[in-house]
Amino acid sequence: MGRSAHTRRELLAASTGTLAGVLALPALARAGRGGQTRPGTVALGDVPRRGVTVELDANADLVGLQWERPAAAAIRLRFRGAGGRWSEWVSAGEAGHGPDVPAAGPVTGEPVWTGGTRTVQLVPDRPLAGARLRTVDVSAGAGARNRARPAASRPLAEPRLDAGAGQPAIWARSAWAGSDSPPAVAPEYGNVELAFVHHTDNPNGYSPGEVPAMVRGIYVFHRFVNGWNDIGYNFLVDLYGGIWEARAGGIDQSVVGAQAGGFNTSSTGVAMLGTFSSVDISSAARRSLEALLSWKLALHGVPSAGEVTVRATRGAQRWSIHRPGERVILPRIAGHRQADLTDCPGNVLFAHLPSVRQTVHGSFPEGARLSAALARPAQQPPTAVREVQGRLARQDGRAIAGARVLVQARDVSRRGERVSERTLATAVTDGGGAWHATVPAARGAAVRALCLDAGGLGATRSPDLALPQVDARINAA
């Protein structure tokens, strides 16, 4: 969400049709390889503070703005939808999302879902130079809202690992992406130490049948306009309580997103589909948010209560209120605004977060924590096997004995759309919660320890452990 708001006078002027002018321009949408819809571009030039109305000659299911100067601006946007009705005003300025190392280029605002429109109005809080409207059509010109159909069934994301209060139903990425929306590259993996809660700044009046198209539209914008590797968020939650796998790489993995500049490598990101600056989230959406956070944090051995200290990365240079390298104390369940220069996740949703934390903590007050490390110093001569060890304990440090631990290697294919784990060895924790296993040495493999039932507390996994690379001749011996 944008960094500042417009005055009431500016918004009233826009709503009564006193914007600076009308631009009748084509959306220039084109189809890419594999049927993937690519964004169109409408050159607007300089946009004054009074704003502009843009008339398109082709359908746009999602729109967003780019501009060359200034470096930051707050922008309000609305569109004319079905029956000629105007949508509510939503923020379309830059929102502090993004990768840890931002790419050079124009400033890009947040995408706004329309469900189908040919008329867009926008009002910046300061004049914009070199502006252009980017449009996405995911409905072959018909308007996604007109084509929305409730799904009879959707595939659920795998794997099933009951943690915390249990794993909620999560719709698989294929439910919105199909087979022609791949990531640009394979995912990166970091560590989950906290969760950020966002909102997407889209109007709230969408139907359940529109949601897959909404997610697909956001993916197209994030990948082809922002230039990111994939959709930015790890998960999305809709108004009806649906939870959606977003960024590829595995729902049980520590996938690095592009959702909190400066803090992506240490967090997971959940975005609520809608705008919650002055409107409340639905009870179904809140229940799903709480269930998802309970599961995801418990799986990674992260307590839901309290705070964590994380270090801001280079992404903080552009978006964050913190300096790169600064050690930052954040809640384990944080609003996006607590790390970056943004109003996200909206005042109303942000006000819910203290009670969300209480509910999530109540669902798993006693989580487990599982560690994994090399058992021998890396300076020792390389061998065809590696010894790994760790400890399983409750969050308060009490050991969990007699639990079965799997040591697994991650296999990633199709740029992260297919992720699986191979079990290399098993172990059982002793009276002090310690475990030890010998695994085959691999060339730079990432392994994790996983316990499917940690003393009755459900599944928990360790952070990734990178095995040192060994000479291929040793593996062949």
> What pLDDT shows up at residue 316?
66
Residues 322, 272 share a domain? yes
Q: What is the CATH number of the domain that holds 299?
A: 3.40.80.10
Q: By three-state DSSP, how is residue 333 classified?
A: strand
User: Angle CA(285)–CA(286)–CA(287) in degrees, nearest 5?
Assistant: 95
> What pLDDT shows up at residue 138?
94
Residues 26, 105 share a domain? yes
Mean pLDDT, residues 375-402 taken together: 84
Mean pLDDT, residues 260-275 taken together: 95
CA-based torsion, 273, 277, 279, 285: positive or negative: positive
Domain assignment of residue 3, yes or no: no
Q: What is the CATH number of the domain that holds 86?
A: 2.60.120
CA-based torsion, 84, 85, 89, 95: positive or negative: negative
Q: What is the CATH number of the domain that holds 425?
A: 2.60.40.10
Name the range with the highest mean pLDDT among 14-18, 88-92, 156-160, 257-261: 156-160
> What pLDDT shows up at residue 12?
38
Residues 290, 195 share a domain? yes
What are the backbone angles phi and psi of residue 362, rounded to the nearest 5°? Answer: -65, -25
244's tokens: 């959606």
| CA 462 – CA 421 distance, rounded (Å) | 14
Q: How far is CA 377 from the centre of its chain?
A: 36
What are the backbone angles phi and psi of residue 326, rounded to the nearest 5°? Answer: -70, 140
Mean pLDDT estimate for the chain: 88
48's tokens: 């004054």
Q: Do the Cβ atoms of 410 and 419 come closer than 8 Å?
A: yes
pLDDT-derived band of residue 101, with 50, 70 and 90 as boundaries?
A: low
Residues 361, 214 share a domain? yes
Residues 270, 389 share a domain? no
In the listed set 335, 366, 397, which residue is the last one of a domain according to the structure?
Answer: 366
Domain assignment of residue 168, yes or no: no
Lowest-pLDDT choice from 28-32, 63-67, 81-85, 311-315: 28-32
Domain assignment of residue 199, yes or no: yes
Lowest-pLDDT choice from 244-258, 377-391, 403-417: 377-391
Residues 300, 189 share a domain? yes
Residues 75, 208 share a domain? no
In the listed set 346, 366, 386, which residue is the last one of a domain according to the structure?
Answer: 366
Mean pLDDT, residues 92-103 taken together: 75
Beta-carbon contacts of residue 70 (< 8 Å; ≥ 6 apart): 107, 126, 128, 129
325-365 confidence digits (pLDDT tens): 999 999 999 999 999 888 999 999 999 999 999 999 999 98
Domain assignment of residue 471, yes or no: yes
> What pLDDT shows up at residue 17?
44
Domain assignment of residue 160, yes or no: no
In the listed set 306, 332, 366, which residue is the last one of a domain according to the structure?
Answer: 366
Q: Do the Cβ atoms of 62 and 221 come closer than 8 Å?
A: yes
406-434 confidence digits (pLDDT tens): 999 999 999 999 999 999 999 999 999 99
Residues 355, 269 share a domain? yes
pLDDT greater than 60 at residue 172: yes
Residues 362, 375 share a domain? no
DSSP letters spanning 216-233: HHHHHIIIIIS--SS-S-
Counted domains in the chain? 3
Domain assignment of residue 189, yes or no: yes
Range(s) of the domain holding residue 433: 369-476
**Percentage of the chain modeled with pLDDT above 90:** 71
User: Angle CA(325)–CA(110)–CA(138) in degrees, nearest 5?
Assistant: 130
